[in-house]
Structure 1
């Protein structure tokens, strides 16, 4: 029976709706599992290298997890050390925030005719209505902290089990497909794993370079706790487009609260522009590469959808997961048009970055 194009389109849209609804409902289960899967792919080369050196699989996986935990603890230690420096400037920051609040109140009085006394009454009413919720807020914070700790342990357990059982899982996938499709399935598994590995390892290298560049730039313009803001700006690059703007905005707020003048603000903006130029035209093409070949439109779309479905973890996982999905689309005949849709357009003329990459490849 022939299916009309309209019916087929409706069926596809319904399928997408059900998939996203399922992803949203299963968020508590899928987010730790997906995060563990991506990290496990990242550590597979190191794990295999250790096994070739005669180290048992279980021990080598534990060493990989230990490296991951050490890196996370190191980053948190740097942030905690830098945050401690803020306490020395706390009075200055409070004075700046108080002055800014006074200016806003005066602007509201001038523009909207709401007197300062009336504004104070409104604030008191809101504070009194929210006072009873202080206990609930404290419980929410405690609950979120406990949930984060449980998810962290769960991710580490998933990483160990996924890496330890990877051959068993691969054989299971191969048993699901016909014999004539096994070779293509192996290609999909290999290419999908390679995309995740190269994207994440390149991203980690780029974040390290951004820490150095932001740290130097912020130190030159005189930003206090420059290392803290450099680490924040670098880490937020995990979320494309949104992260760099957020990091720079936080740096500007910090500089203003420290009494930064116009020259410092201009210096921060110049640092941001210079780093973004180097990142876009040099670091990303050479270090991260175009392993996840998704066009800018769908890059933004998947980030927005990832945030709607899984929140901040969804924004972080969106790019590598869609890269893996594109590998599947490109290797399944019926799905090739969708792989083409989300992929990059082929450039006819090689740019200067492509030529530089060619020099590296030749060497």
Structure 2
């Protein structure tokens, strides 16, 4: 009975600890999200930084890498901004094209559902009543935009300091552990810093191939700005699972909603269906492959948890973070069982 009570106590304590850990991470998103993003980006450009340091001093190499990452991010934001601007320009045409289809949908709803004209009028009136909170929405938007810009710039400041002073952090980790464990700690550090670059390098190659495939399919289907749409749809695959849905929605907006042609919608659906099949069963295993040793089941769980804790940025960071955690667990004897659980390799391969 005493053992059972202890077991229940340990389970309760563990559950509460995990709950408050994730609650704390969610509350501290403004601090941890930019910092963890900077850590992952620093690991990605670390090989380039090491090469540059053969020709220049470390602070200058760190500065160049920070500026390079900033320039790449600005380019991505410009792509997305151009797409949004194009969508806003096409909006009048989309409204005119979709008006008859919306009317048909309304008539279908009136004929085949319990809805009445009064219900539709009330729904329409309810949506117009939201205009009273426009000022509040604008204030909230400005506040959110200010916070985003501050965190966005802070990421690159973090990247500079992490690259420039990385030896200090590494030395600190080595000194925390006893001398007899330093070799094992070095092994864990060296393996961990390779996870993020390998994963993102594989993802970049994969996104390039996906952009080409999407461009061919969407171009044949008759989607407006199909090259730009294809590039952004490929970039959105950085967000696991959800990114594919966003890419499909965007293609529908610039294809079917603009033209109203059902054949365009069929072409978009076929393009994304075939591309997802090729990605999942051909490109993903051979290009990304073993770069991140995390079981697909725990990939899904980590993405869901990342979304709950930090939203979209949490979903993007979830897989490399989970990969690093798995590497650490596999190299700690007392926690190796958890590493084997999270890993997609068989138990026999771990021994």
With structure 1 as the length reference, what TM-score do the two structures score? 0.88
Q: CA RMSD in A?
A: 2.3
Provide the secondary structure at the position in 2 that maps to 1:55. coil
Q: Unpaired runs of 5+ in structure 2? A: none
Shift of 1:347: 10
- 1:277-356 aligned within 5 A: 277-346=277-346
The equivalent residue for 1:120 is: 121
> 2:48 aligned with 1:40, yes or no?
no
Alpha-carbon deviations, 1:165-203, whole Å to 9, x = none? 100001111111111111111111111110111111221
Distance 1:308 1:86, change over 3 A: closer
Match of 2:12 among 7, 10, 13: 10
Paired position in structure 2 for 1:20: 22
SS in structure 1 of the partner of residue 259 of structure 2: coil
Correspondence list, 1:131-146, <5 A: 131-146=131-146
Structure 1 residue 127, shift from structure 2 partner = 1.7
Q: 8 Å contact 1:83–1:228 — kept in the other structure?
A: no
Q: Indicate conservation of the 8 Å contact 1:192/1:327, yes or no.
A: yes
Contact 1:207 1:237 in 2 (8 A): yes
TM-superposed CA distance for 1:79, in Å, is 3.6
Q: Which residue of 2 aligns with 1:110?
A: 111
| Structure 1 residue 101 corresponds to structure 2 residue 102 | yes
Q: Which residue of 2 aligns with 1:236?
A: 236
Separation in 1, partners of 2:93, 2:157:
45
Looking at structure 2, the residues matched to 48 and 238 of structure 1 have their Cα atoms a distance apart, in angstroms, of 26
Contact kept in structure 1, 2:293 and 2:345, CA below 8 Å? no
Partners of 1:262 and 1:112 in 2: CA distance: 25
Determine if contact 2:69/2:156 at 8 Å carries over to the other structure: no
Provide the C-alpha distance between the structure 2 equivalents of 1:252 and 1:85, rounded to a whole number of angstroms. 14
**Partner Cα separation in structure 1 for residue 219 and residue 135 of structure 2:** 41
User: Structure 2 CA distance, aligned partners of 1:238 and 1:290?
Assistant: 17
Range with bigger deviation, 181-190 or 252-261: 252-261
Q: How far, CA to CA, are the matches of 1:97 and 1:106 in structure 2?
A: 14
Higher mean C-alpha deviation, range 12-21 or range 314-323: 12-21
Distance 1:76 1:126 in 2: 31
Say if 2:62 is the partner of 1:61.
yes
Is the contact between residue 222 and residue 255 of structure 2 (CA under 8 Å) also seen in structure 1?
no
Once the two structures are superposed, residues 69-118 of structure 1 have per-residue CA deviations (whole angstroms, 9 ceiling, x without a partner) of: 22222233334444444455333201234334323332332234443355
Q: Following TM superposition, by how much is the alpha carbon of 1:29 offset from its aligned partner in structure 2, in angstroms?
A: 0.6
Name the counterpart of 2:245.
245
The answer to whether the 8 Å contact 1:33/1:155 transfers is: yes
TM-score w.r.t. the length of structure 2 is 0.91
What CA deviation, in whole Å up to 9, does each residue of 1:35-94 have, x standing for no partner?
Answer: 000000000000000001x21111111211222222222233334444444455333201
Aligned to 2:180: 180
Q: Deviations over 1:113-159 (max 9, x none)?
A: 4433552244224422x222000011111111111110111101111
Matches of 2:3 and 2:188, distance apart in 1: 31
Give yes or no for contact 1:252–1:268 (8 Å, CA) kept in 2.
yes
- Tell me, in whole angstroms, the C-alpha distance in 1 between the residues paired with 2:72 and 2:307: 26
**Farther off after superposition, 233-242 or 306-315:** 233-242
Residues 236, 244 of structure 1: 8 Å contact kept: yes
Higher alpha-carbon deviation: 183-192 or 112-121: 112-121
The Cα of 1:247 is off from its aligned counterpart by 1.2
